[in-house]
Amino acid sequence: MATTRIMPLHIGKGRTESRAISEIIDYVANPQKTGHGRLITGYECDSRVADAEFMLAKRQYIAATGRVRGADDVIAYHVRQSFCPGEINPEEANRLGVEFAKRFTKGKHAFIVCTHIDKAHVHNHIIWSSVNLDCDRKFRNFWGSTKAVRRLSDTICIENGLSIIENPKPHGKSYDQWLGDQAKPSHRELLRAAIDNALAQKPADLDKLLKLLRESGCEVSKRGKSYRLKLPGWGKVSRLDSLGDGYTLEHLLAVLAGQKEHTPRQKPIKQADPPKVNLLVDIQAKLQAGKGAGYVQWAKVFNLKQMAQTVNYLTEHNLLEYAVLEEKAAAATAHHNELSAKIKAAENRMAEIAVLRTHIINYAKTRDTYVAYRKAGYSKKFREEHEEEILLHQAAKNAFDDMGVKKLPKVKELQAEYARLLEEKKKTYAEYRRSREEMRELLAAKANVDRLMGMAEDRQEDKGKEMNR
């Protein structure tokens, strides 16, 4: 479950540009936090001298464009991306951070990704230069950038089977706030996560493992044959053997010796409101359940990128219950059909008015001729001389009979009605287009959810059939 935050880096008062960029890069590239630099990746720059390269790009930009800003100038952008404890290893987190930065900057800006493992939760610090690689343009923070960052991060997480924040707030939420909402982990849970991170670095023996734990901030002591651990901010120590199965000294020694595989323990996420099933949680459970033997075949059938877009849509529109999604889709469809029927009725009436207006004009123009034709006793000779006018008059009378018109309306009244219908149609059509887009989005989201749930059920049914054979 990844949380994100974007932060523009300004020069600020009392600092030079060089000092401002150096300070932030020194912090994020701290060897004690990045596995001695192992978890640092640079793109189009050397991570060891990224601050100097960013400053060089800035000078080249000024020379090329002549644009100079003051203390409010943005020299780089910083995104923090945090993951749920025990859900991802440091190497994978770093890879996803690089993927995020490339996709968000479209590969046009140099950046570094530093993955920190000093906390119980693995997290990335991503910094990219505000100046592009060609040194002729700058990245400008835009309205809704926070939302765009979260959408992309969520998309990447879903594509890789990771969970996301279920109901993000408009103004964002800190990692600690989010973690508190999910029930803050205990000291033992944090210790298990710290051990998971240390084991992910493949220590050769127990001493190396304990050294990695100490580097991450964990206090390690020994009383008799028992090892005792404590993280900063916690009052009491915890014995290693009290961490449960998979974390005992015997088990860890077996893992270090290559005799056993270590599987991080994952704490199930409890929902705050149990009466209603959270659709997003259900979707994520289905996606993560696909990581079994049949996952590759399943992924070929179902488009994970499409599902990621669907989840983003559900979170943005707060559609976290299937019943609500179903109701909204049905309501949107009904509203769209209602508007469609209204537009068709207006168009039919406008077409009727156009035809009626034409016949009324023709009737008026040919009336005298037809009266004369009638007084002439419907003479063949008169008809031959005025056939066109007589036919127009008769066509008009037949049309009036077909339309059920007993009293002819005034042409001005018809024109006024036509103009009113045309104006209403224009207004309705604008709403119609909006409703059509809303309906399509809701139906697509519901179809994707139904497809995912149905496929999961089909896989379960097929498995049951195979077992019964």
Residue located via tokens 């120590």: 237
Which is more confidently placed, 52 or 291? 52
The answer to whether the beta carbons of residues 122 and 115 sit under 8 Å apart is yes
The dihedral sign for the CA sequence 50, 56, 59, 65: negative
What residues contact 90, with CB distance under 8 A and at least 6 apart?
Answer: 35, 39, 115, 117, 122, 197, 200, 201
Q: How long, in residues, is the chain? A: 469
The answer to whether the beta carbons of residues 192 and 242 sit under 8 Å apart is no
- Residue 169 pLDDT > 60, yes or no? no
Average of per-residue pLDDT across 84-110: 90
Among 1-5, 133-137, 442-446, the least confident range: 1-5
Residue type, position 440, single letter: R
What is the C-alpha to C-alpha distance for residues 11 and 414, in angstroms, rounded to an integer? 69
pLDDT at position 284, please? Answer: 59
Q: For the purposes of burial, counting CB atoms within 10 Å of the CB of 114, is it exposed (0-12), middle (13-18) or buried (19 or more)?
A: buried
The pTM score is: 0.50
pLDDT band at 94 (very low <50, low <70, confident <90, very high): very high
* Integer-rounded Cα radius of gyration of the chain: 36
User: Tens of pLDDT along 112-127?
Assistant: 999 998 887 889 999 9
Q: Which tokens go with 121? A: 């939760």
pLDDT at position 285, please? Answer: 60
Average of per-residue pLDDT across 310-323: 78
Query: DSSP for 380-443?
Result: HHHHHHTHHHHHHHHHHHHHHHHHT-SSPPPHHHHHHHHHHHHHHHHHHHHHHHHHHHHHHHHH
Closest CA to 452 of 315, 304, 333: 304
Mean pLDDT of the chain: 80
For 298-303, the CB contacts below 8 A with 24+ separation are 298/455, 298/459, 301/455, 302/451, 302/452, 302/455
Supply the DSSP symbol for 74.
Answer: E
Query: DSSP for 94-147?
Result: HHHHHHHHHHHHTT-S-EEEEEE-SSSS-EEEEEEESB-TTSS-B----TTHHH
Which of the given ranges, 63-67, 229-233, 355-359, has the highest pLDDT on average?
A: 355-359
pLDDT band at 369 (very low <50, low <70, confident <90, very high): very high
Which is more confidently placed, 306 or 431? 431
pLDDT band at 420 (very low <50, low <70, confident <90, very high): very high
> What residues does 112 pair with on adjacent strands?
42, 127
Among 253-267, 302-316, 340-354, the least confident range: 302-316
Which is more confidently placed, 153 or 271? 153
pLDDT at position 423, please? Answer: 92
Q: State phi, psi for 203 to the nearest 5 degrees.
A: -65, 145
